């Protein structure tokens, strides 16, 4: 074998690393030797994209190489996530996977599920918020529930879209309490919010972060947060249980990092440590706080367990709204 | 909340050496990217967001605003020169811009397009600066019933782009509506008509459809007649339009500015809708509509002024309500977020200085692309002089690369090819393409908002009676429909009479 000066130097460096750290396989010590690609299955400029870019902005500092964000939107996230799942499991292609992955199999869109990935780290779980316009007569969750009980179908509920977490959470709540509400699905959280701000729809159910600005400007009022704990960005908002309606199933929006199935354990170890550090980056923490995205830190098997539970919770939700079409 | 002092301070910041180079850089990049088919202003902004990381927020934002304004304008240049809309918004420009260029008036067409884009852009930027909070309340009073009515109005107006046969135009509209139905049901959330392709679960990519219908189909047509088509006469030298010419079109500009602003403010509909709508309206109101489509300068002016006329309006709901007005502003919103600036009501309270810098940046960006555009027009106009045997394959290549570049998705290349053939067949059989394109854009808006309206009205259409604005727009739509049908039958009668005379 022809040994070039460079390969000799890097082998020597790797062996030196071996000696000092005591890790055995040579391959893991060499990884990562070039930039890593992070596929974001959503368009540039969105919240998930902002998260991915800020998280990996200082990657070089934490993992030794840069992380390049590549947007692969299309097919409601399937295109990008499929590209990750089918990529070479060498640790150089990773994905920022999102809630939608939990629903593909159940809604019949694609066979893709978390089973096609090696979960690395859960970055965020966002609770749904139940809100009304500031001048609404409904001051508490109880006001609204009581009114809705007395007047079936009359309460209109703006959601970010059919089948998304806010819609399913509300459907599950309504089922548990025996309520009948009228859903008005919008194409995303922002238009739904605008419809409630304009007084066209009674209630707004969206991911809590989408209401932040209007919570601060006091144009929208939170009735409750569909969560098991309070949210640091909305300290005075009660959880749904505190508002008097403990829910049997809790659905949460989520985002996380995953590698293709079959990625070697040694590489996953490097990635886990690297992303753990990136998630502690002050700039990333500041962005997450400003966007009101609660940070989560379930790694590997814990992340997998979380994904398993979400899928189990999703099934009755989708069945309730008639969107269950399991593959 | 407009504060002249803060605005002047904003201009001072932009004129500083720290920011100004990025304004120029952004404008040039915007025009270049805008003029390349498939590369849209939206993509340019998205691609450059990471580069703004290292800049201070205002330099980065001004650069992105300049790309936005320049990109929307630059799309028209490719429309004029090679009948390929550089950005979706510029599709209406090609209807008259390309015939002008083929007549040897490429320079004049680009000159008019530049001045018109500038007029529209400056008007909307000033409206944004002066009335943002007020106009935000207008945006709030619009909801599903109003959007539904607006879409119906748009489709009716589209019919006037049908050419000679209203029936063929109607057929195009129906095709467009059907294509728009592919993908996720906007209310129910289930899949429909995706023929088992998960790639189609979000529907056809609109940009891919448009590149195919407009540019690839034209390339096919030119290949067919490669040897028989007369060469393009050399471009006339004067690029800067005479003041009299521009002033003579003031009614066009009034229409374009008003339509551009209103459609811009409506969240989710942007420059592509406003340019087509204004074009159709200006054509309808014109004394001699038969000149449109054959190289009427008014057609170029209407499309370009409305295109950039919607940019300020598109920014408005993004800045005030956190609802992007169109795809490009959605990406801009992401850029602001990354710089730790959350668009919405709090931005005006917490960072009025920055908001005014954005206003000043938008006004400067519009002035800047006018300067750069007029300087570069003479050079650009030479493109039409390139031998067709070289230009046509180049256009094909650019179209296909452009289609792939949208989302790096090979499916979009097939979509473009499919619609290229479809557009060529439509052309050969006298079916107009524009109504189809607009129907794809407006169809989804019409359907989802009609269904949303009915849900909000608890199942009863009577809700429309409580919505005066929506009702008014619907009445206008009915009147327009009547006018279009009447004029079309008059024209048909006139044609018959003329034919009888010549026989």
Q: Name the least confident of B39-43, B283-287, B294-298.
A: B39-43
Measured in angstroms, the CA of B450 and the nearest CA of chain A are apart by 11
Tens digit of each residue's pLDDT (9 = 90 or more) over A119-139: 999 999 999 999 999 999 999
Alpha-carbon distance B446 to nearest alpha carbon in chain A (angstroms): 13
**Partner-chain residue, chosen from B202, B342, B407, that has the shortest CB–CB distance to A76:** B202
Residue B234 has a pLDDT of: 67
Among A68-77, A188-197, B98-107, B396-405, which is the least confidently predicted range?
A68-77
Q: Are strands A203-207 and A220-226 parallel, antiparallel or unpaired?
A: unpaired
Whether B427 contacts B221, CB under 8 Å: yes
Q: What is the pLDDT of residues B440-450, one digit of tens each?
A: 888 888 998 99
* E strands present in B339-388: none
pLDDT tens per residue across span B121-147 = 999 999 999 998 888 888 888 889 998
Scan residues 230-269 of A and list those with Cβ closer than 8 Å to B: none
Q: Do B202 and A182 lie within an 8 Å CB cutoff?
A: no
Of B268, B407, B411, the CB nearest to A73: B407
Do the chains contact at B205 and A74, CB–CB below 8 Å? yes
Does the CB of A163 have a partner CB in chain B at under 8 Å?
A: yes
Distance CA(A189)–CA(A207), nearest Å, equals: 7
Q: Do B334 and A46 touch (CB under 8 A)?
A: yes
| Average per-residue pLDDT for chain B | 87
CB A117 within 8 A of CB A72: no
Span B324-342, average pLDDT:
80
A24/chain B closest Cα distance in angstroms: 37
Q: Is the pLDDT of residue B327 over 80?
A: no
Q: Is the pLDDT of residue B417 over 50?
A: yes
pLDDT at B93 over 90: yes
CB contact under 8 A, A74 and B323: no
B17 burial (CB, 10 Å; 0-12 / 13-18 / 19+) is exposed
Domain span holding position B134 = 4-502
Q: Is some CB atom of chain B closer than 8 A to the CB atom of A49?
A: yes
Choice between A296 and B289, residue whose per-residue pLDDT is larger: A296
d(CA A318, CA B88): 36
Q: What's the average model confidence in pLDDT over B163-181?
A: 88
Which residue in A has a C-alpha nearest to residue B454's C-alpha?
A: A184
How far off is chain A from B112, nearest CA to CA, in Å?
33
- The shortest C-alpha distance from A200 to chain B (Å) reads 7
- Choosing among A55, A164, A188, A194, which should be mutated to test the B contact, i.e. which has the most B CBs within 10 A? A194
More confident residue, B330 or A156: A156
Q: Which two tokens stand for residue B266?
A: 């409506």
Pairwise CB contact (< 8 Å): A72 & B407: yes
Distance, in Å, from the CA atom of A56 to the CA atom of A66, rounded to the nearest integer, reads 8
CB contact under 8 A, B407 and A290: no
What is the percent of chain B where pLDDT is above 90? 35
Is A162–B187 a contact, with Cβ atoms under 8 angstroms apart? yes
**Mean pLDDT, all residues of chain A:** 87
Average the pLDDT over each of A158-167, B150-159, B199-208 and give the range with the smallest value.
B199-208
Weakest mean pLDDT among A33-47, A254-268, B120-134: A33-47
**Total beta-carbon pairs less than 8 A apart between chain A and chain B:** 164
Residue B331 in this model has a pLDDT that exceeds 90:
no
Q: Angle B255-B264-A211 (CA atoms, 0-180°, nearest 5)?
A: 155
The tally of domains found in chain B comes to 1
Q: Quick check: B165 pLDDT over 60?
A: yes
Q: Go through the domains of chain A in sequence order and give each one's CATH number.
A: 31-126+252-320 (3.40.190.150), 128-226 (3.40.190.10)
Report the percentage of chain B scoring pLDDT > 70: 97
**Which of these, A267, A257, A262, A259, lies nearest to A299 by C-alpha position?**
A257
Q: Rounded to two decimals, what is the model's pTM?
A: 0.83
Residue of B nearest to A42 (CA): B407
Residue A163's CB: how many other CB atoms inside 10 A?
27
Average pLDDT over residues B371-378: 87
- CB–CB contact A219 B184 (8 Å): no
pLDDT exceeds cutoff 80 at B196: no
Does the distance separating the beta carbons of A45 and B331 come in below 8 Å? yes
> What pLDDT is recorded for position B24?
95
SS (H, E, C) chain A: CCCCHHHHHHHHHHHHHHHHHCCCCHHHHHCCCCCEEEEECCCCCCHHHHHHHHHHCCHHHHHCCCEEEEECCCHHHHHHHHHHHCCCCCCCEEEEEECHHHHHHHHCCCCCCHHHEEEEEEEEEECEEEEEECCCCCCCHHHHHHHHHHCCCCCEEEECCCCCHHHHHHHHHHHHHCCCCEEEECCCHHHHHHHHHCCCCCEEEEEHHHHHHHHHCCCEEEEEEECCCCECCECCCCECCCCCCCCCCCCCEEEEEEEECCCCHHHHHHHHHHHHHHCCCHHHHHHHHHCCCCECCCEHHHHHHHHHHHHHHHHHHHHHCCCCCCC
Task: Measure A29 CA to nearest chain B CA, in Å.
Answer: 30
Per CB-CB distance under 8 Å, the chain A contacts of B324 are 190
CA dist B92 and B270 (Å) reads: 13
pLDDT at B28: 92
Q: Assess A66–B contact: CB distance below 8 Å, yes or no.
A: no
A174-178, A270-274, B282-286, B471-475: segment of lowest average pLDDT: B282-286
Q: Decide if B189 and A69 are in contact by the 8 Å CB cutoff.
A: no
pLDDT at A50 over 50: yes
For residue B453, the chain A residues in CB contact (below 8 A) are none
Residue percentage of chain A with pLDDT more than 90: 61
Give the model confidence (pLDDT) of B226-255 as tens digits: 777 777 766 556 677 888 888 889 999 999
Count CB-CB contacts under 10 A for residue B15: 13
Q: State whether B407 and A79 contact (CB < 8 Å).
A: yes
pLDDT at B332: 87
- Check residue A6 and give its pLDDT: 44
Q: Is the pLDDT of residue A10 over 50?
A: no
Contact list in A for residue B200 (CB cut-off 8 A) is 75
For residue B322, give the DSSP letter. Answer: S
Q: Does the pLDDT of residue B456 top 80, yes or no?
A: yes
Residue B148 confidence (pLDDT): 92
């Amino acid at each position: 074998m022809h040994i070039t000066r460079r390969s000799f130097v890097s082998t020597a460096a790797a062996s030196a690393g071996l000696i000092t750290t005591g890790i055995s396989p040579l391959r893991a010590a060499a990884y990562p030797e070039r930039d890593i690609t992070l596929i974001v299955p959503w368009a540039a400029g969105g919240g998930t994209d902002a998260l991915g870019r800020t998280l990996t902005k200082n990657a070089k500092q934490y993992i030794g190489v840069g992380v390049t964000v590549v947007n692969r939107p299309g097919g409601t996230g399937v295109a990008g996530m499929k590209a990750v799942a089918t990529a070479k499991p060498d640790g150089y292609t990773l994905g920022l996977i999102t809630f939608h992955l939990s629903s593909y199999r159940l809604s019949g869109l694609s066979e893709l599920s978390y089973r096609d990935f090696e979960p690395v780290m859960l970055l965020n779980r966002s609770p749904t918020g139940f809100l009304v316009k500031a001048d609404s007569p409904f001051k508490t969750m109880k006001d609204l529930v009581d009114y809705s009980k007395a007047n079936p179908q009359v309460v209109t509920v703006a959601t970010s879209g059919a089948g998304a977490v806010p819609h399913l959470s509300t459907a599950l709540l309504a089922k548990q309490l025996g309520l009948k509400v009228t859903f008005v699905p919008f194409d995303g959280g922002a238009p739904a919010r605008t419809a409630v701000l304009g007084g066209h729809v009674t209630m707004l159910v969206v991911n809590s972060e989408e209401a932040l600005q209007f919570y601060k400007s006091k144009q929208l009022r939170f009735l409750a947060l569909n969560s098991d704990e309070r949210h640091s960005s909305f300290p005075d908002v009660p959880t749904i249980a505190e508002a008097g309606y403990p829910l049997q199933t809790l659905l949460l929006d989520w985002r996380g990092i995953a590698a293709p199935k079959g990625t070697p354990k040694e590489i996953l170890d490097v990635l886990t440590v690297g992303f753990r550090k990136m998630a502690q980056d002050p700039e990333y923490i500041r962005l997450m706080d400003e966007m009101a995205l609660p940070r989560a830190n379930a790694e590997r098997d814990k992340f997998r367990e979380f994904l398993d539970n979400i899928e189990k919770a999703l099934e009755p939700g989708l069945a309730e709204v008639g969107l269950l079409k399991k593959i | 909340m407009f504060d002249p002092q803060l605005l002047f301070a904003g201009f001072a910041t932009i004129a500083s050496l720290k920011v100004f180079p990025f304004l120029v850089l952004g404008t040039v990049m915007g025009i270049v990217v805008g003029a390349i088919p498939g590369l849209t202003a939206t993509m340019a902004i998205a691609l450059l967001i990471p580069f703004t990381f290292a800049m201070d927020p205002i330099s980065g934002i001004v650069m992105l605003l300049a790309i936005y304004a320049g990109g929307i304008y630059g799309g028209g240049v490719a429309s004029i020169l090679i009948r390929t809309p550089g950005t979706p918004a510029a599709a209406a420009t090609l209807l008259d811009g390309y015939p002008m260029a083929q007549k040897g008036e490429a320079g004049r067409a680009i000159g008019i397009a530049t001045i018109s884009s500038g007029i529209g852009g400056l008007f909307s930027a000033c409206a944004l600066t002066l009335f943002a909070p007020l106009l935000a309340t207008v945006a709030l009073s619009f909801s599903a019933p109003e959007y539904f009515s607006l879409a119906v109005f748009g489709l009716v107006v589209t019919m006037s782009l049908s050419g000679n046969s209203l029936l063929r135009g109607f057929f195009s509209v129906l095709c467009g509506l059907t294509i728009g139905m592919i993908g996720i049901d906007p209310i129910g959330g289930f899949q429909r008509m995706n023929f088992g392709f998960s790639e189609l679960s979000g529907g056809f990519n609109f940009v891919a459809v448009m590149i195919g219908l407009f540019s690839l189909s034209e390339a096919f047509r030119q290949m067919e007649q490669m040897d028989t088509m007369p060469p393009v006469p050399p471009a006339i030298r004067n690029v800067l339009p005479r003041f009299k010419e521009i002033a003579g079109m003031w009614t066009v500009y009034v229409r374009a500015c008003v339509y551009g602003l209103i459609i811009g403010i409506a969240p989710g509909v942007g420059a592509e809708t406003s340019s087509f709508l204004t074009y159709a309206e200006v054509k309808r109101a014109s004394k001699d509509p038969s000149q449109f489509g054959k190289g009427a300068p008014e057609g170029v002016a209407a499309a370009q002024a409305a295109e950039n006329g919607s940019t300020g309006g598109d920014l408005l709901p993004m800045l005030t309500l956190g609802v992007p007005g169109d795809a490009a502003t959605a990406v801009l919103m992401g850029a602001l977020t990354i710089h730790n600036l959350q668009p919405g009501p709090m931005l005006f309270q917490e960072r009025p200085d920055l908001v005014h810098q954005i206003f000043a940046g938008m006004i400067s960006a519009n002035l800047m692309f006018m300067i750069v555009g007029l300087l570069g027009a003479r050079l650009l106009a030479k493109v039409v002089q390139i031998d067709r045997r070289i230009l046509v394959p180049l256009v094909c290549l650019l179209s296909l690369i452009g289609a792939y570049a949208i989302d790096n998705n090979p499916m979009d290349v097939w979509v473009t090819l499919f619609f290229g053939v479809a557009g060529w067949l439509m052309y050969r059989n006298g079916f107009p393409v524009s109504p189809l394109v607009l129907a794809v854009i407006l169809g989804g808006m019409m359907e989802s908002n009609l269904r949303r309206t009915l849900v909000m009205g608890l199942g009863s259409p009577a809700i429309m009676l409580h919505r005066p604005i929506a009702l008014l727009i619907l009445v206008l739509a009915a009147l327009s429909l009547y006018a279009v049908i009447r004029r079309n039958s008059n024209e048909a009668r006139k044609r018959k009479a003329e034919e009888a005379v010549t026989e």
